[in-house]
């Protein structure tokens, strides 16, 4: 951590209230070294909050491997050596065959089995059929009219019954044709010409390049000579040695230093510079792009011009959240719907998912991620590389356009961002020797694998771990509706454990009701309460299970709004809080509050109660300038309130999240 | 094109429009503001980037004419295929006839007589979003009858009163729970208890009109047409059938989000598939169909099969169907009147369209919301109000045309007065004819001095 940064206790108190922050006396847990602080200092909350009755003892369990599921839960600590990391992708220790029948295991699926699947378009056949019927189609322009009309009485309207139905099948007659794009029609001839053009261009470019390099060399030589003369004239001691080391000198140090740096690099280490450049580029890629700030007028205008979806921004926005996008609800969907056929570049499957995000038909991190990945799978299946383009680059560009479309429908969740990064990484790593169909098959199976290993199997492992923490007689509290928590509860019930569930819910989404419905349907004992009653109901609770949208590097849990409140109340009542989150949702970002990154929902959702005219007293105030409605979607729970995070690598204290992110990042990206 | 195929049902010679349509002029080519009515649909589709169309026409002669016109007007713009089906097979029969040409997942069926600016994409998107079996477009019933003449509008209102549709919607106004058209409406209506109970609430509306723009799931549509051979019309048979049976679906596809589409997910084991669909299903807000399918208490073993019938309600758009003579005059009036901004006409400062080659005599006035076609000539002291006059008409002096439609090549003698009438092509009106609320069929000659009121004049069928 940067030493210059003010410690948390000095943060402006107004901001801290909104961000759900810990009182200043426990800020010492924000130290940089998570492992040593959790084992040596007594400050971590997990150690001191757990009452003696149900101590959870967040032992430092090193992340287990999937294959070790059959083994008992406590693991031998395993030093994370680079050797081991190497062995993971090789498939010796990380063996997914526990979960797959060997025949269909991903390693066994050789690309050749997909090679025979050729995309045969049904429509293609159809149109050929039509060509046979109407001779006019092959021509273009004015000749079409003549031939089409002349072919009319002769060829068309053959009413012979093709099908034995009550109505004779009728033939189609093409009466009007619009031009095919010239690129397709003239491809045969055009390719040769373009190739020649290419050669011309490339030779020209090469020529120009050499002159440029020459010019550059000349310039540098001149500059070096000048600098040398100057140095000699001024007689600055030690110019030669300092020139080499002053590469890192900041430009603020003065013109002279900059000059020295400049020529020292160019003269002494021009080769090194070439080697440095890709590194620099990589570094640039690593730095996350600055998030769009929606209170920056000019940028918003620019983004709007690019946007596919027409969005009207909401007028009354809460001051603190101006930087987040918020749109007039109900303006996006009709517009997007009416453009259905104009959005040609967006694949129908992606479009459908986007509509579902926008209308709220799909919500929840895992579901959104799965829906998106499946849509991408469909899109890849239907994808064909345009002529003279590279599959890797073109597909990446295409995916990016899909992603920006999805972002316009609803901001991405962190889990989706990770999944997209994974997919793009896979595309970038495709071997060049693969044919198009093989590459597509490989990508599709990669996506399937991501879904099954990172989401489905991860959930299975989480359930396995979490069930060990449920004992007979427990009262478990959960908030909202988390898919992982639901699976845990159902599995524990299947195992015959006797426990009771308290479902805490909140307006306006009332997701808990759906969970309640399913749990009661399965025969679990449930209590349903709203979040207002959480302080009352917490008396009887013995454990709190929470889901998460993401877990950030400082242990902050980013989740459905209200989670922080539940966690804090539980902490005050000394009830252990267990967060269930798949490791693919972990992110290396550090976030201290829920202001800088969040999502704003439809403000009308909190001001109106559908179907209850009697309590809709805000109805006439909606357009008032003085009223600002805030419907936050997420909040950030500081790690102090979390006893343990249950993830597919085991049960870890929140301070160990960076370890998982660091050690398994590579594996995350290249399964 | 988003995996949609478009079928335009252009009909044949409709009986409702009898003096207006004839062998030479099928319904699809009836001029609305001097443009065939079919062009409004085709241009709406073109605007929405739907350029591969199948146009189905009843009768071979009609198909020839429609095809000839399309090939002339839309070369290089649309890829249109025309199919001729026998007359009187109905809309369902027409789809049956071209069934083997339908390949896309979803089919957009548009009636050829709609004059509207509702984006068809909106219907398609609503259809996709819900994964519906059928999505119908509803729009508010247009106000009928000419504005000025009170007597005829009153008469039409009474005629219309018995003909409205009843449409039942769920509280979110997204699903269709009940539909009945005037013909089958008796004293009381029968609503299924199961649907009412599942949806909780039903809103029954009589002010909505079925605009004859449907999105169908192809497999379901073809299956229904295949099984129910007696079904004659999409609107009267197929749609009510699908709505009726939505909670006890007999069609193959239902709420399950099409597992067969992901054919090559063989890597994913059965377990993975189940978990995935479960996560997806749990995350979405269930519609009443899904809640009903799960049932209140019954376990997962008893799953009821359902399908969804959706609606798209066009609120602020113009939408009308040319299915009666009254509708014909209404649409002609609206297209150059109220809805004039929607169809790309450019109006003069006087709010009318007069072709530059038209000739007007002395003291002749053409009022606002009028259209005068190419090469038409008018004598002196004429007055035209709220009317459409076609191409190459010759109109004498002292003629009054109010609230009427005059098609092409019509000759009108001196001193005629035409009010609320439709005069087809090649008609000859001799001097001092007075017509009120009349329809004159093609090539008819009205003798001098005759006065008609509310009559349909046409040549006798040979």
Q: Do A355 and B276 touch (CB under 8 A)?
A: no
Give me the residue from B93, B100, B282 closest to A162, CB to CB: B100
A to B CB pairs, distance under 8 Å: 235
Q: Which domains does chain B carry?
A: 4-257+307-335 (3.90.550.10), 263-302 (no CATH), 351-457 (2.160.10.10)
* Percent of chain A at pLDDT exceeding 90: 22
pLDDT at position A360 over 90: no
pLDDT at position B268 over 50: no
Q: Do B285 and A361 touch (CB under 8 A)?
A: yes
* Interface residue A356 vs chain B (CB under 8 A): yes
Q: Where are the beta strands (DSSP E) in A515-599?
A: 525-530, 543-547, 550-552, 557-560, 577-580, 586-587
Q: Which of A227-236, A473-482, B120-129 has the lowest mean pLDDT?
A: A227-236
Give me the residue from B79, B261, B283 closest to A177, CB to CB: B79
| A569 in Cβ contact with A640 (< 8 Å) | no
pLDDT score for B425: 87
pLDDT at position B208 over 50: yes
Chain A hits for B96, CB-CB cut-off 8 Å, are 165-167
User: What 3-state class would DSSP assign to A650?
Assistant: strand
Chain A hits for B101, CB-CB cut-off 8 Å, are 126, 172
Q: Are β-strands A543-547 and A525-530 bridged in parallel, bridged antiparallel, or unpaired?
A: unpaired
* Interface residue A162 vs chain B (CB under 8 A): yes
State phi, psi for A109 to the nearest 5 degrees. -75, 95
Give the mean model confidence (pLDDT) for residues A616-625: 72
B202 CA to chain A: closest CA distance, Å?
A: 14
Q: Alpha carbon of A336 to those of A342, B104, B285: distances in Å?
A: 10, 22, 21
pLDDT score for A177: 62
Q: Which of A279, A239, A229, A277 is nearest to A261 (CA)?
A: A239
State phi, psi for A294 to the nearest 5 degrees. -80, 0
* Interface residue A410 vs chain B (CB under 8 A): no
Give me the residue from A122, A145, A364 closest to B75, CB to CB: A145
| A546 in Cβ contact with A577 (< 8 Å) | yes
DSSP state of A27: G
| A668 in Cβ contact with A418 (< 8 Å) | yes
| A170 in Cβ contact with B84 (< 8 Å) | yes
* Interface residue B49 vs chain A (CB under 8 A): yes
* Interface residue A185 vs chain B (CB under 8 A): no
CB interface of B with A, residues 113-142, below 8 Å:
119-122, 124-126, 128-129
Q: Do A378 and B261 touch (CB under 8 A)?
A: yes
Q: Do A341 and B48 touch (CB under 8 A)?
A: yes
Q: How confident is the model at residue B228 (pLDDT cuts 50, 70, 90)?
A: confident
Give me the residue from A141, A152, A163 closest to B67, CB to CB: A152
B60 CA to chain A: closest CA distance, Å?
A: 7
pLDDT score for B283: 66
User: Which residue would you say has higher pLDDT here, B177 or A117?
Assistant: B177
Q: How confident is the model at residue A161 (pLDDT cuts 50, 70, 90)?
A: very low
DSSP state of B237: I
| CA closest to A110 among chain B residues | B267
DSSP state of B317: S
Give the mean model confidence (pLDDT) for residues A474-491: 93
Give me the residue from B68, B82, B229 closest to A166, CB to CB: B229
Chain B hits for A451, CB-CB cut-off 8 Å, are 268, 272, 276
What pLDDT, in 10s, does the model give residues B326-373? 888 888 888 887 777 777 777 777 778 888 888 888 888 888 888 888
Q: Which of A587-591, A662-666, B41-45 has the lowest mean pLDDT?
A: A662-666
Q: Which of A289-293, A382-386, A424-428, B135-139 has the lowest mean pLDDT?
A: A289-293
Q: Do B125 and A444 touch (CB under 8 A)?
A: no
Token pair for residue A526? Answer: 């449930």
Chain A hits for B269, CB-CB cut-off 8 Å, are 99-101, 104, 452
Q: From the candidates B1, B46, B71, which should be mutated to test the interface with A, based on the most A CB atoms within 10 A? A: B71
Q: Number of H helices and number of E strands within chain A? A: 26, 12
Q: Do B103 and A170 touch (CB under 8 A)?
A: no
Q: How confident is the model at residue B286 (pLDDT cuts 50, 70, 90)?
A: low
CB interface of B with A, residues 184-243, below 8 Å:
229
Q: Do A337 and B121 touch (CB under 8 A)?
A: yes
Give me the residue from B93, B124, B269 closest to A341, CB to CB: B124
* Interface residue A448 vs chain B (CB under 8 A): yes
Q: Do B77 and A141 touch (CB under 8 A)?
A: no
* Interface residue B72 vs chain A (CB under 8 A): yes
Q: Where are the beta strands (DSSP E) in A471-524?
A: 474-479, 499-505
B125 CA to chain A: closest CA distance, Å?
A: 5
pLDDT at position B402 over 80: yes
Q: What mean pLDDT, rounded, does chain A reach?
A: 68
| A158 in Cβ contact with A172 (< 8 Å) | no
* Residue A194 CB partners (closer than 8 Å, separation 6+): A388
Tell the burial category of A628 from Cβ atoms under 10 Å away from its Cβ (0-12, 13-18, 19+): middle
pLDDT score for B294: 61
First to last CA, chain A: 30
A184 CA to chain B: closest CA distance, Å?
A: 16
Q: Which of A25-34, A361-370, B444-453 has the lowest mean pLDDT?
A: A25-34
Give the mean model confidence (pLDDT) for residues B272-279: 73
Q: Which of A619-633, B310-324, B398-412 has the lowest mean pLDDT?
A: A619-633
CB interface of A with B, residues 611-630, below 8 Å:
611
Q: Which of B268, B226, B36 is nearest to A453 (CA)?
A: B268
| B390 in Cβ contact with B373 (< 8 Å) | yes
* DSSP assignments along B18-78, one per residue: TTT--SSS-GGG-EETTEEHHHHHHHHHHHTT--EEEEEEESHHHHHHHHHHHHHH-TTT-
> Of the segments A31-35, A213-217, A221-225, which one has the largest average pLDDT value?
A221-225
* Interface residue A10 vs chain B (CB under 8 A): no
> Of the segments A109-118, B21-30, B427-436, which one has the largest average pLDDT value?
B427-436
pLDDT at position A210 over 70: no
User: Which residue would you say has higher pLDDT here, A231 or B11?
Assistant: B11
User: Which residue would you say has higher pLDDT here, A144 or B399?
Assistant: B399
> Of the segments A454-463, B110-119, B275-284, which one has the largest average pLDDT value?
A454-463
* Interface residue B375 vs chain A (CB under 8 A): no
CA B310 from centroid of its chain's CA atoms: 18
Give me the residue from A114, A165, A361 closest to B96, CB to CB: A165
Give the mean model confidence (pLDDT) for residues B11-28: 77
CB interface of A with B, residues 571-610, below 8 Å:
none
Degrees, nearest 5: CA angle B444-B446-B450: 155
* Interface residue A102 vs chain B (CB under 8 A): no
> Of the segments A29-43, A49-63, A578-592, which one has the largest average pLDDT value?
A578-592
* DSSP assignments along A204-270, one per residue: HHHHHHHHHHHHHHHHHHHHHHHHHHHHHHHT-TTHHHHHHHGGG--GGG-HHHHHHHHHIIIII-H
Cα separation, B204 vs B239, whole angstroms: 17
Q: Do B74 and A176 touch (CB under 8 A)?
A: yes
Chain A hits for B89, CB-CB cut-off 8 Å, are 167
pLDDT at position B207 over 90: no
pLDDT at position A183 over 50: no
Q: Do A178 and B79 touch (CB under 8 A)?
A: yes
Q: Do B264 and A152 touch (CB under 8 A)?
A: no
* Interface residue B166 vs chain A (CB under 8 A): no
Chain A hits for B295, CB-CB cut-off 8 Å, are none
| CA closest to A102 among chain B residues | B267
* Percent of chain B at pLDDT exceeding 90: 0
Cα separation, B22 vs A588, whole angstroms: 75
pLDDT score for A7: 46
Q: Are β-strands A644-647 and A577-580 bridged in parallel, bridged antiparallel, or unpaired?
A: parallel
Q: How confident is the model at residue B308 (pLDDT cuts 50, 70, 90)?
A: confident
Q: What mean pLDDT, rounded, does chain B reach?
A: 79
* Percent of chain A at pLDDT exceeding 70: 53
What pLDDT, in 10s, does the model give residues A544-581? 999 999 999 999 999 999 999 999 999 999 999 999 99
* Interface residue A560 vs chain B (CB under 8 A): no
Give the mean model confidence (pLDDT) for residues A389-403: 88
| A377 in Cβ contact with A395 (< 8 Å) | no
Chain A hits for B64, CB-CB cut-off 8 Å, are 152-153, 157
What pLDDT, in 10s, does the model give residues B57-86? 888 888 888 888 888 888 888 888 888 888
Give me the residue from B1, B266, B286 closest to A341, CB to CB: B1
| CA closest to A100 among chain B residues | B269
Give me the residue from A109, A144, A175 closest to B267, CB to CB: A109
* DSSP assignments along B75-104, one per residue: TTT-EEEEEEE-TT-HHHHHHHHTGGG--S
A174 CA to chain B: closest CA distance, Å?
A: 4
- Alpha helices, H only, A500-633: 511-521, 534-537, 563-572, 603-607
pLDDT score for A507: 85
């Amino acid at each position: 951590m940067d030493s210059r940064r003010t410690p948390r206790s000095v943060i402006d108190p107004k901001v801290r209230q909104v961000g759900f922050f810990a009182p200043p006396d426990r800020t010492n847990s924000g130290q940089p070294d998570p492992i040593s602080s959790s084992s040596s200092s007594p400050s971590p909350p997990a150690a001191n909050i757990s009452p003696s009755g149900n101590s959870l003892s967040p032992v430092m369990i090193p992340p287990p491997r999937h294959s070790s599921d059959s083994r008992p839960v406590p693991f031998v600590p395993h030093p994370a050596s680079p050797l081991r990391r190497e062995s993971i992708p090789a498939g010796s220790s990380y063996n997914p065959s526990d979960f797959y029948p060997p025949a269909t295991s991903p390693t066994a699926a050789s690309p050749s089995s997909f090679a025979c699947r050729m995309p045969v378009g049904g429509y293609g056949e159809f149109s050929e059929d039509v060509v046979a019927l109407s001779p006019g189609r092959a021509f273009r322009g004015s000749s079409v009219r003549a031939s089409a009309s002349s072919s009319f009485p002769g060829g068309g309207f053959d009413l012979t019954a093709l099908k034995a139905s009550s109505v004779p099948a009728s033939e189609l007659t093409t009466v009007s044709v619009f031009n095919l794009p010239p690129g397709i029609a003239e491809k045969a001839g055009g390719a040769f010409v373009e190739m020649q053009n290419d050669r011309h261009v490339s030779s020209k470019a090469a020529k120009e390049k050499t002159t440029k390099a020459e010019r550059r060399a000349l310039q540098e030589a001149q500059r070096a000579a000048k600098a040398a003369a100057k140095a000699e004239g001024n007689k600055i001691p030690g110019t030669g040695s300092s020139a080499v080391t002053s590469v890192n000198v900041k430009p603020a140090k003065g013109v002279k230093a900059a000059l020295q740096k400049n020529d020292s690099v160019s003269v002494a280490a021009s080769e090194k510079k070439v080697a440095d450049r890709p590194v620099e580029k990589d570094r640039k890629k690593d730095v996350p792009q600055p998030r769009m700030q929606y209170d920056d007028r000019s940028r918003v205008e620019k983004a709007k011009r690019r946007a596919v979806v027409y969005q009207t921004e909401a007028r009354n926005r809460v001051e603190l959240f101006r930087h987040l996008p918020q749109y007039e609800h109900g303006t996006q969907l009709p517009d997007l719907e009416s453009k259905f056929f104009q959005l040609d570049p967006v694949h129908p499957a992606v479009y459908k998912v986007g509509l579902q995000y926008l209308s709220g038909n799909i919500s929840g991190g895992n579901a959104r991620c799965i829906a998106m990945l499946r849509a991408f799978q469909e899109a890849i299946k239907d994808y064909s590389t345009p002529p003279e383009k590279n599959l890797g680059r073109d597909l990446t560009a295409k995916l990016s356009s899909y992603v920006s479309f999805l972002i316009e429908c609803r901001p991405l969740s962190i889990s989706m961002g990770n999944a997209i990064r994974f997919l793009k990484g896979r595309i970038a790593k495709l071997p060049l020797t693969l044919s198009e169909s093989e590459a597509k098959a490989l990508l599709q199976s990669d996506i399937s694998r991501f879904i099954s290993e990172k989401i489905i199997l991860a959930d299975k492992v989480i359930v396995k771990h979490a069930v060990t923490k449920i004992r007979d007689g427990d009262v478990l509290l959960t908030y909202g509706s988390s898919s992982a928590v639901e699976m845990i509860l159902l599995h524990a019930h299947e195992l015959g454990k006797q426990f009771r569930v308290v479902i805490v819910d909140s307006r306006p989404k009332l997701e808990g009701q759906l969970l309640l419905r399913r749990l009661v349907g399965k025969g679990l004992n449930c209590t349903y309460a709203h979040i207002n009653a959480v302080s009352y109901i917490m008396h009887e609770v013995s454990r709190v299970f929470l889901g998460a949208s993401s877990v950030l590097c400082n242990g902050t849990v980013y989740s459905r709004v209200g989670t922080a409140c539940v966690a804090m109340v539980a902490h005050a009542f000394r009830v252990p809080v267990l967060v269930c989150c798949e490791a693919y949702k972990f992110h290396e970002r550090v976030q201290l509050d829920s202001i800088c990154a969040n999502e704003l929902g439809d403000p009308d959702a909190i001001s109106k109660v559908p179907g209850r005219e009697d309590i809709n007293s805000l109805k006439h105030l909606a357009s008032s300038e003085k009223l600002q409605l805030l419907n936050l979607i997420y909040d950030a729970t500081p790690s102090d309130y979390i006893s343990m995070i249950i993830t597919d690598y085991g049960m870890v204290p929140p301070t160990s999240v960076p370890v998982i992110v660091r050690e398994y990042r590579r594996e995350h990206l290249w399964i | 094109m988003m995996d949609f195929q478009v079928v335009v049902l252009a009909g044949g010679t409709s009986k409702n429009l009898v003096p207006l349509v004839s062998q030479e002029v099928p319904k699809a080519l009836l001029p609305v503001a001097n443009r065939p009515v079919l062009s409004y649909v085709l241009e709406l589709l073109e605007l929405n980037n739907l350029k591969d169309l199948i146009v189905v026409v009843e009768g071979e002669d009609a198909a020839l004419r429609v095809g000839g016109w399309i090939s002339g007007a839309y070369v290089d713009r649309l890829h249109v295929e025309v199919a001729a089906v026998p007359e009187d097979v109905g809309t369902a029969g027409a789809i049956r006839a071209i069934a083997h040409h339908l390949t896309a997942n979803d089919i957009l069926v548009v009636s050829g007589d709609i004059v509207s600016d509702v984006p068809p994409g909106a219907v398609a998107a609503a259809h996709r979003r819900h994964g519906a079996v059928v999505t119908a477009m509803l729009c508010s019933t247009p106000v009928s009858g000419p504005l000025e003449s009170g007597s005829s509008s009153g008469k039409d209102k009474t005629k219309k009163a018995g003909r409205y549709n009843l449409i039942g919607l769920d509280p979110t106004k997204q699903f269709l729970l009940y539909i009945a058209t005037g013909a089958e409406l008796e004293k009381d209506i029968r609503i299924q208890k199961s649907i009412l109970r599942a949806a909780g609430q039903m809103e029954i509306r009589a002010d909505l009109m079925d605009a004859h723009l449907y999105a169908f799931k192809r497999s379901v549509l073809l299956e229904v047409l295949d099984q129910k051979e007696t079904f004659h019309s999409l609107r009267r048979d197929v749609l009510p059938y699908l709505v009726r049976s939505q909670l006890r679906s007999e069609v193959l596809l239902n709420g399950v989000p099409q597992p067969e589409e992901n054919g090559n997910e063989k890597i994913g084991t059965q377990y993975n598939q189940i978990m995935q669909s479960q996560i997806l299903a749990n995350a979405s807000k269930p519609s009443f169909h899904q809640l009903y399918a799960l049932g209140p208490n019954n376990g997962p073993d008893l799953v009821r099969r359902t399908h969804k019938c959706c609606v798209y309600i066009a609120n602020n758009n113009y939408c009308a169907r040319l299915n009666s003579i009254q509708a014909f005059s209404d649409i002609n009036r609206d297209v150059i009147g109220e809805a004039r901004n929607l169809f790309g006409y450019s109006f003069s400062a006087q709010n009318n369209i007069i072709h530059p080659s038209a000739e007007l005599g002395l003291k002749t006035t053409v009022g606002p919301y009028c259209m005068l076609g190419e090469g038409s000539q008018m004598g002196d002291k004429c007055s035209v109000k709220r009317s459409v006059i076609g191409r190459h008409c010759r109109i004498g002096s002292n003629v009054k045309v109010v609230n009427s439609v005059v098609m092409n090549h019509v000759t009108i003698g001196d001193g005629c007065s035409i009010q609320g009438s439709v005069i087809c092509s090649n008609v000859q009106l001799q001097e001092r004819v007075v017509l009120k609320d009349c329809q004159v069929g093609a090539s008819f000659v009205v003798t001098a001095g005759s006065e008609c009121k509310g009559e349909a004049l046409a040549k006798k069928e040979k």
